[in-house]
Amino acid sequence: MNWTGKKVLVTGAGGFIGSHLTDRLLELGAHCRAMVRYNSAGSRGWLDEIASQDGRLEVVAGDVCDRDSVARAVQGVDVVFHLAALIGIPYSYEAPASYVRTNVEGTLNVLRVAHEHNVERVVHTSTSEVYGTARYVPIDEEHPLRAQSPYAATKIAADQLALSFERSFRLPVVVVRPFNTYGPRQSARAVIPTIISQCLTGGVVRLGHLTPTRDLNYVADTVEGFLLAAQCAKAVGQVINIGTGTEIAIGDLARKIAGLMGASVDIEFEAQRARPDNSEVERLCASTHRAKELLGWAQRHTLEDGLRRTIEWIRGHSAYYRPCGYAI
C-alpha cells in the first residue's frame, strides 16, 4: 500500500504504541487523524511532541465509549487502527467495569461505525495476555484463550467482536496480537521502564514475581506489524501474533538492564507488585510463523539494541517517572 495521501484514523493515538504508529504513518505520507481521550488540560499525550507535518496530522478529542465521538472521527477515513483501550492489568482488578466500557463497548462502537462508513480496513489491537500462561510454546494463534485478569477477559471479548464483524458483516478486520512491546514513551506501569527508572537511582530494584517469562518486541517492530497487516488482503479475518519467538524471565531481564546501564543494584520481590494468586501469566513466547508467512514481517531490533534505545530515552525523560512509587 502506498500510504501517501491515505486518510487514516488511529484511536488511542496519544498513547505509547499509538503515538509511534502515528509518527510512522506521517513519515510515510499519510493524512492521520489521531483520536485522543478528552481531558480538561487539553493534553494530547505523546502527540504533544509530534510536529504538525504540514497539516497532515489532525488531532481530535473524544472517547471511544461515545458513539458520536467515534462517528465524527471515522468520517472520511480509509483505514482505522484501533488501539484505544484501558491496558493496566493491576487497575483492572480495582475497576473492571471501566475496562468493559472502554475495551468492549468502545470497540463495538468503532466496529459499528467503521461498517457504516465502509472503511477499507480495520486493524484491531489484541494482546498476548489473552492466552494466559502458555500451555505450549511457541504460542500460535490457535492456542486456547484463557483470561487471567479482567483486562484479558475484556480483550478476548473485543477480539471476538472484531472477528464476528468480519464474519457477519464482511467488515475487513485484522486482529493484530502484539506480545510485550517496549520502547520510548512507555509508562512506568510496564516492567521495563520500572526497571530502568529504578536502576537510575541505584540501590534496589523492586519488582513482582521474577520467574515469569515474556516475549519482548521493540515498538518500531510492532508498528511495522500493524502497517503490514493493514496492507495484506489475506490478513482479513485473521489473528496475527507480533512477537520475537524468544522469552526471558523478569529477573534475568532486570539483571540484563542493570548490566547495560552499569548499575549496581539488588533485585528484590515486593508483594504489592505481584498479581493475585492464579492471575499471574507465567510464560509467554510467540509463534512468529503466521506473521512471517502472511505479512513478511520479521523482528529487526535485538533485545539489547531495543533496551539500549529505551534506556537512552528514559535517561533523557526521567521526570516522567517516579522510581520510588508503584504505578498500577
CATH number, domain containing residue 229: 3.40.50.720
| pLDDT tens per residue, range 157-213 | 999 999 999 999 999 999 999 999 999 999 988 999 999 999 998 889 999 999 999
pLDDT of 219 > 80? The answer is yes
For residue 41, the model assigns a pLDDT of: 79
| pLDDT tens per residue, range 73-110 | 999 999 999 999 999 999 999 999 999 999 999 999 99
Could you tell me if residue 148 is inside a domain? yes
Whether the upstream peptide bond of residue 212 has omega within 30° of 0, thus cis, is no
Could you tell me if residue 232 is inside a domain? yes
For residue 27, the model assigns a pLDDT of: 95
State the residue range of the domain holding 261.
Answer: 184-214+246-320
Same domain, 158 and 271: no
Could you tell me if residue 35 is inside a domain? yes
Could you tell me if residue 155 is inside a domain? yes
Q: Take residue 139 and report the three cell numbers written for it.
A: 504460542
CATH number, domain containing residue 277: 3.90.25.10
- 321 vs 52, higher pLDDT: 321
| pLDDT tens per residue, range 136-157 | 999 999 999 999 999 999 999 9
For residue 325, the model assigns a pLDDT of: 72
Same domain, 198 and 237: no
Could you tell me if residue 328 is inside a domain? no
How many of the other CB atoms lie within 10 Å of CB of 236?
15
List Cβ<8 Å contacts ≥24 apart for 291-296: 291/225, 291/240, 291/241, 291/242, 294/232, 294/234, 294/235, 294/238, 294/240, 295/225, 295/228, 295/229, 295/232, 295/235, 295/240, 296/228
Same domain, 68 and 122: yes
Same domain, 231 and 267: no
| pLDDT tens per residue, range 256-284 | 999 999 999 999 999 889 898 889 999 99
pLDDT band for position 327 (50/70/90)? confident
Same domain, 141 and 230: yes
For residue 290, the model assigns a pLDDT of: 98
Beta bridge partners of 216: 180
Same domain, 157 and 210: no
Same domain, 32 and 158: yes
Task: Out of 192, 225, 242, pick the residue that ends a domain.
Answer: 242
Cβ-count burial 118-148 (b if 16+ within 10 Å, e if not): ebebbbbbbbbbbbbebeebbbebebeebbb
Q: How many domains does the chain have?
A: 2
Could you tell me if residue 140 is inside a domain? yes
Could you tell me if residue 326 is inside a domain? no
Q: Which are the catalytic amino acids?
A: 151
At residue 248, what are phi and psi to the nearest 5 degrees? -145, 140
Same domain, 204 and 232: no
Same domain, 207 and 95: no
Could you tell me if residue 159 is inside a domain? yes
Task: Tell me, yes or no, if the pTM score tops 0.75.
Answer: yes
Same domain, 310 and 224: no
Distance in angstroms (rounded) separating the CA atoms of residues 29 and 4: 4
Same domain, 198 and 236: no
pLDDT band for position 55 (50/70/90)? confident
Distance in angstroms (rounded) separating the CA atoms of residues 175 and 177: 6
Same domain, 235 and 136: yes
pLDDT band for position 49 (50/70/90)? confident
Average pLDDT of the chain, as a whole number: 95
Amino acid at 240: I
